[in-house]
Amino acid sequence: METTTEKIIVKINTKPVKDLIKTYVEKQKFYKRTRKHATFSYKNGQMVWDPMHPSIAQSKAYWNGLELRIFYLAYGALRGKTFMQIEKNYTGEDPLHFINTHLLKIAKTLEGMKQMCGIKEE
């Protein structure tokens, strides 16, 4: 006599989270493009970088990349994946790994994503 186990699949509205990640991806593309193709020109009699100085774009690309990595980790955790499934080189043993050094930030981001999706903790 075999018994079947039924899995309860809960559909989560992840569209707001996906849209947030997409905006950060677009920013990242803009910063990387700006970092390489910024022009130095005259505007109103002053010499300025258009749209921004390459070093500022480099800095913003770096920090935006860190935020994106945290968003991807939190989004994967929201969908029920483990950190080992999300990042292939993560074993959990290295205390200096990115995930281990940013666990609190990932947890806060995950809580924010749960609120965006309308998931209530019981």
Q: Percentage of the chain with pLDDT > 70?
A: 89
Residues 68 and 51: their CA atoms lie apart, in Å, by 22
Domain spans of the chain?
Answer: 15-117
Band of pLDDT at residue 23, cut at 50, 70 and 90? very high
The separation between CA 4 and the C-alpha centre of its own chain, rounded to angstroms, equals 38
Task: Examine the pLDDT at 83 and tell me if it is beyond 70.
Answer: yes
Secondary structure letter of residue 14 according to DSSP: -
56-82: average pLDDT:
94
Give the closest residue to 61 by CA, choosing from 90, 102, 33, 89: 33
